[in-house]
Amino acid sequence: MRNRPGCLFWLAALLLLPALAAAQPPRPAAPETRRYAIEVAGVRVGIMMATRQLQPGTGEVISTLTSDVKVNFLLYHLKIYYQVINRVRNGQLLLSTVEAHTNQGDFASRAEWLGTHYAISAEQYKHHYRATETRPITFTVTDLFFGEPGRHPTAYAEYFGDYFALARAPDGGICRATRNGREDEYRYANGQLVTIIKKNPLKNFVIRLLP
């Protein structure tokens, strides 16, 4: 009889276990991850990583794009670390932030949906831009890392705060993104982004998918 209170305690604990388990918040699914090597003239100068993850309970998808580059060629020195974070719900961009840390200083860009429009600002090296946009943003440069653009004619450029025009090659597998005289080439194999060529007057940057 002296053990009866103890037995009741353990019985109550066992009965509560299902309720406690149900009360635990669902764990987020493992993120999709893509890793790329950044090369200049055949030399690896950095790493780029893209991730995408569904947030349980909110229906939001968080995507990130991180780049870390260090170039030292004779008189050409470049150091750039930047990270893009996008929040998307029901296919629409809600918030995009960009932080850039370079040998020329620290910079930032932001686009936020305010219910009727986006407030957009980009304060980057030699690029200053502010605008409002009433059209929902449904496709971004970061999305190019997770699949071909399909019928999307543009991709929102989080860093610049405006858009790249997209054009597919007739034979497929290659997408050219152009903006203000600049062209980047995205190459796909079996629907997966395998190579990016960022064209530069000095040296092209080539970004290759890592196994």
65-105 pLDDT per residue, tens: 999 999 887 677 889 999 999 999 999 999 999 999 999 99
Residue linked to tokens 């064209």: 199
Q: What is the pLDDT of residues 183-198, one digit of tens each?
A: 999 999 999 999 999 9
Burial class (CB in 10 A: 0-12, 13-18, 19+), 49: middle
Give the pLDDT band (50/70/90) at residue 47. very high
Residue linked to tokens 């790329």: 36
pLDDT at 58: 87
Question: How far is it, in rounded angstroms, from Cα 211 to Cα 191?
Answer: 16
106-52-143 Cα angle (round to 5): 75
What sign does the dihedral 207-40-66-34 (CA atoms) show? positive
**Is there a contact between 209 and 34 (Cβ–Cβ < 8 Å)?**
yes
102 SS3 class: strand
Q: What are phi and psi of 74, to 5 degrees?
A: 50, -110
Which residues touch 143 (CB under 8 Å, ≥6 apart)? 63, 149, 155
Q: pTM for this structure?
A: 0.84
Q: What is the pLDDT of residues 53-69, one digit of tens each?
A: 999 988 899 999 999 99
Residue linked to tokens 């600049």: 182
pLDDT at 24: 60
Question: How far is it, in rounded angstroms, from Cα 9 to Cα 197?
Answer: 66
The count of other CB atoms within 10 Å of the CB of residue 36 is 21
Which contacts of 64-73 are long-range, i.e. CB under 8 A and separated by 24 or more positions?
64/142, 65/141, 65/142, 65/145, 65/158, 67/38, 69/38, 69/45, 70/45, 70/46, 71/40, 71/45, 71/46, 73/40, 73/41, 73/203
